Chains A and B, each alone.
Chain A
Amino acid sequence: MMTSPWSLPVRAILFTAWFTAQFVITSVRVSLLILTPGRQPQPAIVRFEIDELSDAEASLLLALITITPDTLVISLNRDERVMFVHGMFVAGDADGFRRGLRETHDRLLRGIRWRPPVTASGGGHA
């Protein structure tokens, strides 16, 4: 849809709004998990590839993933371009969790790059 460099401010604002909503939703989810008696988290640690990101973009993605309370970056390998992410609500579905991270990753690039990459997974809804 919007791929012109001139639309960057709009894309940045849209991304900020989307991310703020995600942040509030996941915070409430974690709080509800804690306050529900007898419920325990179903965590997992998955490997996530960040081949095409620059160092600055990788730092930003790391910060954003860690800000949402249900996900947490444990390790970042700059040589192999890989990060290991801990999730609270994975329940054994590692690939689904990875798809969610990939969506954050794609949306971030659309929100901060002058020329956003054309992704095959475009059009997916959260």
Chain B
Amino acid sequence: MNAELVVSVIGNGFLVLGAVIIASAAIGIIKLPDLYTRTSAIGTAAGLGVALIIVGVVTLDFSVLNFIKGIIAIIAQVLTSAVGSFALARSGYLTGSRPVATTVPDELADSADHDAIDAQRALRDIEGDSPTHET
């Protein structure tokens, strides 16, 4: 067994592992119940899946320059995927995509309800036509 074969097996192993994780994320999009858990599933593909594929490619074609490029690529990929996930989740919440009913506790919904009630009260106080606060 020569060294080239070992490197080839390890490198391709990383590639297959990365592909399996990306495939599981794709299944997760179908299986999971709401936007937020699906975004989490995408996080595995965008983070570990792509990172493993980069590691596999660097192993197959190793040089110091490729190693540095690989590290930069993984860091950039992971950071941008985090910002993207946050933007996706936030815009999803703002446009009214509710979390699945098994999400307990949902402290954001509680807080949002309080804000809505406060806003209604403030509006009524400004209009001043209904002095009774029924809640």
A residues neighboring B (CB under 8 Å):
23-24, 27-28, 30-31, 34-35, 40-47, 62-64, 66-75, 84, 86, 88, 92, 94
Which of B48, B83, B89, B90 has a CB less than 8 Å from the CB of A27? B48
B12 at the A/B interface (Cβ < 8 Å)? no
- A7 to chain B minimum Cβ distance, whole angstroms, is 23
Bound-complex Cα distance A46 to B109 (A): 10
Q: Inside 8 A of B39's CB, which chain A residues have their CB?
A: 72
The 9 nearest A-B residue pairs measured at CB? A69-B43, A27-B48, A34-B28, A66-B82, A84-B108, A63-B82, A47-B107, A31-B24, A69-B44
Name A's interface SS: mixed
Residue of B nearest to A34 (CB): B28
Q: Inside 8 A of A42's CB, which chain B residues have their CB?
A: 102
CB pair A47–B31 under 8 Å, yes or no, is no
- A12 to chain B minimum Cβ distance, whole angstroms, is 14
CB pair A34–B107 under 8 Å, yes or no, is no
CB pair B44–A31 under 8 Å, yes or no, is yes
Which of B40, B79, B89, B107 has a CB less than 8 Å from the CB of A30? B40
Q: 1/0 per position for B27-43, CB-CB distance to A under 8 A?
A: 11001111011011101
CB pair B82–A41 under 8 Å, yes or no, is no
Bound-complex Cα distance A88 to B38 (A): 10
